[in-house]
């Protein structure tokens, strides 16, 4: 099939490369000049394991080509299907900014010449497909063209870091359509990726498909905020949230995913989609009270974590060299959009601390935000050698597998772990002051035990000794 994909971001480029791999002819439209220059040189301008090779294969097989605008794409090759994969960021009021979606619809209306299926893959509020249809119809009317087209919704569920396997081996593919032809085209495109198409291809009306994406992300965010709030209680009552999680996860009705307590979710999807769902509720005079709490708990989690650092160090933080491990909003990506690290670093700097940070792949993105105010290290070890104490903000495998005996190089022997990367009892044995999320039962023990050890002097909160 001839496919045009608009937007060469995480979703668009993965969609394009995976369809090209299945022998479709794919034209990618990207209007960011720097991105298109990189892509034409075979460079994927963000980190996604395996993607660069897959794109290179597509280019070598002449299955992928790149253009800078919709007009060029459609002049070159009238496609059967156009996937719109542009960004839908949050506005100030939490609503989704759909300006890129409207712009794409307009360009499509100005250019299509034969039947085209226009598929919206971006995460968009219910009603967006209807508006896209109206915009295309208006453009056709303006040029007195009578061109048949359909609009469909096909929300994307891939996870950054696992995007290729999520796309090529999905749990399900959701398609929202209002014509049999659109349903058939999408079924034909996706069948090669599905083991059991009958079950996995979930076909529905367009508003339901649009809402399914928000419902899925809001449910996952809810699980995270639920565990984070329970972690606060666990600290108060002397329970270990990791044990609580294990006890819950083996219940098949609950399952094990998205139950990790930590510093809260970030990224380009959960925060904005939760906010957009709240906004949609407001528009319909139906307050999404549960989801509002999910959002509030998530933001509070960052602040409470930072408060632990200030409670511990007080004003002495101004003399501290603070080591940070992890800048990306989660492992296996260089995406820092809404990453907790941004808030934590900004607050440390505002309190007068010096910051030295390391992330396996997200450093250059963070450098753009904190160019002159943060030192960026080349390795986890470099941070440990330079820092008074350590803060862990992303649970990269590299950190979880770190030889903890080397952490003794930290001057204060203090670690604030926002992702519960280490076993508190092992940290206790090593004599660290290890402050985590919801595993305080061990931390309390740590403190008692620690005071009996030689390093006890260094673990005593300086703010209490000053
Ligand atoms: N990133 C994810 O993990 C993920 C997962 C599922 C769904 N989504 C949703 O998919 C959508 C895209 O997300 P993303 O992370 O890929 O965004 P992104 O910002 O990485 O990519 C969007 C791309 O579209 C390009 N673009 C914008 N307007 C254009 C135009 N008129 N013509 C050509 N190119 C244009 C931008 O330059 C950018 O490269 C969002 O709605 C997002 O919520 C994202």
- Tens digit of each residue's pLDDT (9 = 90 or more) over 134-193: 999 999 999 999 999 999 999 999 999 999 999 999 999 999 999 999 999 999 999 999
Q: Which of 18, 269, 338, 433 is labelled catalytic?
A: 269
Q: Would you state the structure tokens that stand for residue 274, as one six-digit string?
A: 């939760």
275 shares a domain with 138: no
Pocket flag, ligand 1, residue 103 (CB < 6 Å): yes
Is the pLDDT reported for residue 36 higher than 50?
yes
Of the candidates 204, 239, 256, which is a domain's last residue? 204
337 shares a domain with 243: yes
What's the total number of domains in the chain?
A: 2
- Tens digit of each residue's pLDDT (9 = 90 or more) over 386-441: 999 999 999 999 999 999 999 999 999 999 999 999 999 999 889 999 999 999 87
212 shares a domain with 65: no
Angle at 350 between CA 349 and CA 355, to 5 degrees: 10
144 shares a domain with 104: yes
DSSP 171-236: S-EEEE-SSHHHHHHHHHHHGGG-SSHHHHEEEE-HHHHHHHHHHHHHHHHHHHHHHHHHHHHHHH
Of the candidates 204, 224, 253, which is a domain's last residue? 204
At 457, the pLDDT band (50, 70, 90 cuts) reads very low
Neighbours of 354 (CB within 10 A): 19
H or E segment at 327?
Answer: none
Q: Would you state the structure tokens that stand for residue 277, as one six-digit string?
A: 């769902």
Closest CA to 312 of 386, 389, 238: 389
210 shares a domain with 153: no
> CATH code at 433?
3.40.50.720
281 shares a domain with 292: yes
Query: Which residue's C-alpha comes closest to atom 31 of ligand 1?
Result: 104
Q: Would you state the structure tokens that stand for residue 203, as one six-digit string?
A: 């076909």
Q: Pocket of ligand 1, candidates 11, 43, 66, 125: which has the most ligand atoms within 8 Å of its Cβ, to mutate?
A: 11
334 shares a domain with 466: yes
User: Can 269 be counted among the known catalytic residues?
Assistant: yes
240 shares a domain with 171: no
The number of CA neighbours under 13 Å toward the Cβ of 289 is: 1
Mean residue pLDDT across the chain: 94
Atom of ligand 1 nearest to the CA of 35: 39
Could you tell me the pTM of the whole model? Answer: 0.94
- Tens digit of each residue's pLDDT (9 = 90 or more) over 287-329: 999 999 999 999 999 999 999 999 999 999 998 999 999 999 9
105 shares a domain with 32: yes
Residue 37 Cα, ligand 1 centroid: separation in angstroms?
Answer: 17
The answer to whether residues 149 and 118 touch, using CB atoms and an 8 Å cutoff, is: yes
219 shares a domain with 165: no
- Quick one: average pLDDT of 267-287? 97
Of the candidates 172, 189, 204, which is a domain's last residue? 204
Cβ contacts of 80 within 8 Å, gap of 6 or more: 1, 2, 3, 115, 116, 117, 185
The boundaries of the domain holding residue 22 are 2-204
211 shares a domain with 197: no
152 shares a domain with 68: yes
The answer to whether residues 144 and 176 touch, using CB atoms and an 8 Å cutoff, is: no
């Amino acid at each position: 099939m001839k496919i045009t994909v608009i937007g060469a971001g995480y979703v668009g480029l993965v969609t394009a490369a995976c369809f090209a791999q299945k022998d479709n002819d794919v034209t990618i439209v990207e209007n960011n000049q720097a991105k298109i220059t990189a892509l034409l040189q075979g460079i994927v301008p963000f980190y996604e394991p395996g993607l660069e090779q897959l794109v290179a294969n597509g280019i070598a097989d002449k299955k992928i080509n790149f253009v800078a605008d919709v007009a060029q794409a459609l002049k070159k090759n009238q496609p059967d299907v156009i996937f719109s994969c542009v960004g839908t960021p949050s506005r100030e009021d939490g609503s989704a900014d759909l300006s890129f979606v409207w712009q794409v619809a307009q360009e499509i209306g100005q250019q299509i010449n034969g039947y085209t299926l226009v598929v919206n893959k971006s995460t968009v509020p219910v009603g967006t497909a209807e508006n896209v249809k109206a915009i295309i119809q208006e453009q056709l009317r303006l040029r007195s063209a009578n061109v048949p087209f359909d609009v469909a919704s096909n929300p994307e569920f891939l996870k950054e870091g696992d995007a290729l396997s999520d796309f090529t081996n999905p749990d399900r593919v959701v398609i929202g359509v209002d014509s049999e032809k659109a349903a058939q085209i999408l079924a034909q495109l996706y069948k090669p990726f599905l083991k059991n198409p009958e079950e996995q291809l979930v076909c529905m009306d367009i508003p339901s498909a649009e809402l399914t994406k928000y419902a899925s992300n809001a449910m996952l965010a809810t699980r995270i905020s639920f565990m984070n709030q329970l972690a606060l209680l666990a600290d108060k009552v002397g329970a270990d949230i990791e044990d609580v999680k294990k006890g819950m996860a083996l219940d098949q009705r609950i399952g094990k995913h998205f139950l990790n307590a930590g510093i809260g979710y970030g990224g380009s999807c959960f925060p904005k989609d939760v906010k957009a769902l709240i906004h949609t509720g407001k528009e319909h005079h139906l307050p999404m009270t549960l989801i509002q709490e999910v959002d509030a708990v998530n933001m509070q989690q960052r602040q409470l974590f930072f408060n632990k650092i200030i409670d511990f160090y007080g004003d002495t933080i101004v003399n501290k060299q603070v080591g940070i491990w992890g800048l990306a909003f989660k492992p296996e990506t260089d995406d820092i959009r809404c990453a907790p690290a941004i808030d934590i670093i900004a607050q440390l700097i505002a309190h007068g601390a010096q910051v030295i940070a390391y992330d396996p792949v997200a450093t250059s993105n963070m450098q753009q935000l904190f160019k002159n105010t943060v030192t960026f290290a080349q390795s986890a070890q470099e941070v440990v050698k330079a820092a008074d104490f350590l803060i862990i903000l992303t649970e990269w495998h590299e950190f979880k597998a770190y030889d903890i005996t080397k952490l003794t190089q930290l001057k204060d022997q203090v670690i604030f772990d926002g992702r519960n990367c280490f076993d508190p009892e092992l940290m206790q044995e090593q004599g660290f002051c290890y402050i985590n999320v919801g595993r305080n039962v061990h931390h309390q023990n740590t403190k008692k035990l620690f005071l009996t050890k030689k390093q006890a002097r260094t673990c005593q909160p300086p703010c209490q000794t000053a």
